[in-house]
Structure 1
């Protein structure tokens, strides 16, 4: 199905939200803690309102699930995270992004991951591929490509994974599995980690999220990774589905290919089994 209309509207809505985020980022913002202990800023709330209003105006029959608002029921469902990486926003890092993903028949079918500070927008395409758009000083775009198979593994993760005992054990095992070892990259934002796989800078992403992952964290980047031929699934190999829920039930893997993803899952499960 052609999602070009959705893409054009979402790009416009995301840039409007990004302008508001930049206004807070380079000015003043307030931070409060939500019930689960995670931080939220008035930039999150303002950007979320812009995105939700824009989507409701353009697609009034669709549902919306957002980190910062109550669910809105509908047919197709949009999953929104106005700032994926709020902690990075607060610390004035650039490692945060806007997520706008669309699920239909429980599958992610379109995704946009937008970096407000660099005006870069990753999007899945109607031609079954993915693009990186630069919306700054004139529009430009480049096609996303996965990394080719090699004798080493480039793994992108988060600091929680590196600090965990089992994370280091998994890295050790992966280092023995690949002829030239395992190299590590880190990023604070779930979506931007996955975009490194979609861009071909990393082979896979494994993370540790003590509080679990939410659907708005994953829907948009999953659509993009899968559009370029990558693999996203639960560790047991089952598909990640979007049926209107807010949280995901298991840990998951992101990889440049299904074969690599299955091999990584085998290593991870063997290490986790030793810990029991």
Structure 2
């Protein structure tokens, strides 16, 4: 399949973004089909490791190369920055994770997704998260809301931590001491705290209202930018990730419903955006 768009400029217009979103939806669905087909035939010999508890499969590479090729064809002036093959952050950059939740994918657990975000001058304009197993496509465009398979999203209206469900991501980029401290502090609020091993889907679930918040002490941009935009466009409270000095190297992530946001932020010591 070929996706070709007209020449783009750095300063985005609504037409530019709508066109990019339309093309990105086609691309992420094609990538999702590749990932789903590979998932059904996954065997232990296809699993590799980039480090402790850091899984890599041949599908990660194949999906990223597919997305990269399609984006370069459609938008040759845009940069692409991916988890597996790197790239550069420029004025117009697509940031992608071919398989978020690779550990789940590799072990036959149907909880993973493909992630794409479009960033213009350090501002996330588009976010897409596709769960191919459940055929759920989450999309967001800055200032225009968010959707799941075309239906508008809104975060949950939970009022009490006694009823709240939060998710806390973990990885070895932050110390165990910091992680367990954050976990203890969140549990002390009275919330149920879980971990599903796909940070991008966790953020999408906050946007959908399936959970009330997601926090991770250090997260890479390809995992979180799309989800942060989804949560913000669904009425949630986030931290201003792309305003960090070296955000392309990763940083803390915060995405919580408004009624619980300040209390959670105090417990995990993450500065959040101002909100009404």
Structure 1-normalised TM-score?
0.80
What residue number does 1:178 align with? Answer: none
What residue number does 1:186 align with? Answer: 195
Specify which of 202, 208, 212 is matched with residue 203 of structure 1. 212
Separation in 1 of the partners of 2:156 and 2:212? 6
Post-superposition offset of 1:70? 2.9
Separation in 2 of the partners of 1:106 and 1:129? 19
**Secondary structure of the equivalent of 2:243?**
coil
CA contact (8 A) 1:108 1:242 kept: no
**Where does 1:71-82 land on structure 2 (aligned, <5 Å)?**
71-72=87-88, 74-82=90-98
What residue number does 2:9 align with? Answer: none
What residue number does 1:260 align with? Answer: 260
Specify which of 105, 109, 113 is matched with residue 89 of structure 1. 105
2:128 equivalent to 1:106: no
**Where does 1:1-276 land on structure 2 (aligned, <5 Å)?**
1-2=13-14, 3-28=17-42, 30-34=46-50, 38-72=54-88, 74-125=90-141, 128-133=144-149, 141-152=150-161, 153-158=164-169, 165-175=180-190, 182-207=191-216, 212-233=218-239, 239-241=241-243, 246-248=248-250, 250-257=251-258, 260-269=260-269
Gaps of 5+ in 2: 1-12, 271-276
CA contact (8 A) 2:113 2:130 kept: yes
Distance 1:129 1:104, change over 3 A: same
Distance 1:101 1:244, change over 3 A: farther
CA contact (8 A) 1:106 1:242 kept: no
Gaps of 5+ in 1: 134-140, 176-181, 271-276
Distance 1:216 1:22, change over 3 A: same
Distance 1:98 1:261, change over 3 A: same
CA contact (8 A) 1:62 1:76 kept: yes
Separation in 2 of the partners of 1:28 and 1:264? 38
**For 1:196-238, what per-residue CA distance to the aligned partner results, in whole angstroms no more than 9, with x for missing partners?**
1101122211235xxx3211011111121112222221xxxx5
**Secondary structure of the equivalent of 2:159?**
coil
Post-superposition offset of 1:185? 4.0
Separation in 1 of the partners of 2:202 and 2:160? 21
How well do the aligned residues superpose, as a CA RMSD in angstroms?
Answer: 2.7
Post-superposition offset of 1:159? 7.0
Separation in 2 of the partners of 1:50 and 1:103? 20
